[in-house]
C-alpha cells in the first residue's frame, strides 16, 4: 500500500496516539490534531517527543474541530504543506455529564458540537477530494454508550448515536467512488481518563464486561488500521463494536 496522508482528530489522547502509531506502522504520513490551548499544546508536544524516540514521526496541528472555518483553514494548509488527505479518523470527543434535569444547554451544545458536528465539518472538507481521486477512508469513532445509552450522558449518547446515521448516509454517497465510511464503537478502554474513575466504580464496570477486563487502546487502533487498509474496500457503512461483549446487538 502506497503512503497516504492520514489525519486523526483528537490524536494526542489515549486512543488517538495508538491510532496514529498503527497508521504510521502502515507506512502513512500521520497528522494528529489537538485542541488549541497552551495546556494541550504542551501535552501534545511532550507526546510527540516521546513518540519520536520510539521511531514514530507524527505531525501535530492545533485545531478546534467545532469551528468549520478553522477546519477549512486546516485542510487547506495541510494540502499545501503535505498533500491531499486520504484517510480521516474522526476521533475528537469530550464529555459533559449530568442527568437531564441538571444538564445545562451549554453542556448539551458543547458535546454535540465536538462529538458530532465536528464529524460533519471534517468529513465534508475531505470527502469531495477523495471521491474525485477515486480513493478514501473515513472512520468515525462512536461509543458503546451511543449504542445503548447511558444515565447522565444524554448529550454524549445522542452525539455518538448520530454518528451512525451520518456514517451510513455518506457511505452510500462514496461507495461507487472508492471511498469507504465506517464507524467504530469502543467500550471501556484502558486509558488515563478511564483509570481516573474511582476504583470501586471501575471494578464494577469490569465485572459487567464478559471478557473480564478493559480493552486496550491498541485493540481499537488495530480496527482503525484494518478499516483504512487498501484491502478493506468492500467494507462500508458499518459499525464495528469493540466492547468485550458488554453490549451485543
Closest Cα partner for 124 from 181, 162, 77? 181
Tell whether 144 is covered by a domain.
Answer: yes
CATH number, domain containing residue 71: 3.40.50.720
Q: Which of 34, 35, 56, 156 is catalytic?
A: 156
For the whole model, what pTM was predicted?
A: 0.96
Tell whether 201 is covered by a domain.
Answer: no
Which residue is it, cell 483509570?
195
Region of residue 11 (phi > 0: left; psi between -120 and 50: alpha; otherwise: beta): alpha
pLDDT at res. 2: 75
pLDDT at res. 46: 87
Tell whether 117 is covered by a domain.
Answer: yes
Tell whether 20 is covered by a domain.
Answer: yes
Rounded CA-CA distance 12/10 in Å is 6
- Domain encompassing residue 12: 5-187+219-234
Closest Cα partner for 16 from 209, 199, 192? 192
* Sequential pLDDT tens for the chain (249 residues): 678 999 999 999 989 999 999 999 999 999 999 999 888 888 888 888 888 888 899 999 999 999 999 999 999 999 999 999 999 999 999 999 999 999 999 999 999 999 999 999 999 999 999 999 999 999 999 999 999 999 999 999 999 999 999 999 999 999 999 999 999 999 999 998 888 888 999 999 999 999 999 999 999 999 999 999 999 999 999 999 999 999 998
Structural domain count, the chain: 1
pLDDT at res. 5: 98
pLDDT at res. 1: 60
Rounded CA-CA distance 221/248 in Å is 21
Alpha helix positions (H), 175-210: 192-195, 199-207
Closest Cα partner for 33 from 70, 57, 65, 76? 65
156 catalytically annotated: yes
Contact 215, 156 (CB under 8 A): no
pLDDT at res. 197: 85
Amino acid at each position: 500500500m502506497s503512503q497516504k496522508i492520514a489525519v486523526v482528530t483528537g490524536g494526542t489522547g489515549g486512543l488517538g496516539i495508538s491510532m496514529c502509531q498503527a497508521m504510521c506502522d502502515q507506512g502513512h504520513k500521520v497528522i494528529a490534531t489537538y485542541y488549541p490551548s497552551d495546556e494541550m499544546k504542551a501535552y501534545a508536544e511532550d507526546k510527540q517527543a516521546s513518540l519520536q524516540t520510539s521511531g514514530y514521526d507524527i505531525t501535530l496541528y492545533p485545531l478546534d474541530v467545532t469551528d468549520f472555518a478553522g477546519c477549512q483553514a486546516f485542510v487547506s494548509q495541510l494540502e499545501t504543506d503535505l498533500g491531499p488527505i486520504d484517510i480521516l479518523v474522526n476521533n475528537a470527543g469530550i464529555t459533559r455529564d449530568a442527568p437531564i434535569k441538571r444538564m445545562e444547554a451549554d453542556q448539551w451544545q458543547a458535546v454535540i458540537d465536538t462529538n458530532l458536528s465536528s464529524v460533519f465539518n471534517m468529513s465534508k472538507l475531505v470527502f469531495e477530494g477523495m471521491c474525485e481521486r477515486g480513493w478514501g477512508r473515513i472512520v468515525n469513532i462512536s461509543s458503546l454508550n451511543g449504542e445503548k445509552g447511558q444515565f447522565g450522558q444524554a448529550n454524549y449518547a445522542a452525539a455518538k448515536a448520530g454518528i451512525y446515521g451520518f456514517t451510513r448516509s455518506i457511505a452510500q454517497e462514496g461507495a461507487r467512488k472508492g471511498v469507504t465510511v465506517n464507524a467504530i464503537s469502543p467500550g471501556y478502554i484502558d486509558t488515563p481518563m478511564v483509570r481516573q474513575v474511582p476504583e470501586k466504580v471501575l471494578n464494577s464496570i469490569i465485572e459487567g464486561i464478559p471478557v473480564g477486563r478493559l480493552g486496550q487502546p491498541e485493540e481499537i487502533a488495530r480496527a482503525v488500521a484494518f478499516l483504512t487498509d487498501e484491502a478493506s474496500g468492500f467494507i462500508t457503512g458499518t459499525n464495528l463494536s469493540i466492547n468485550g461483549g458488554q453490549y451485543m446487538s
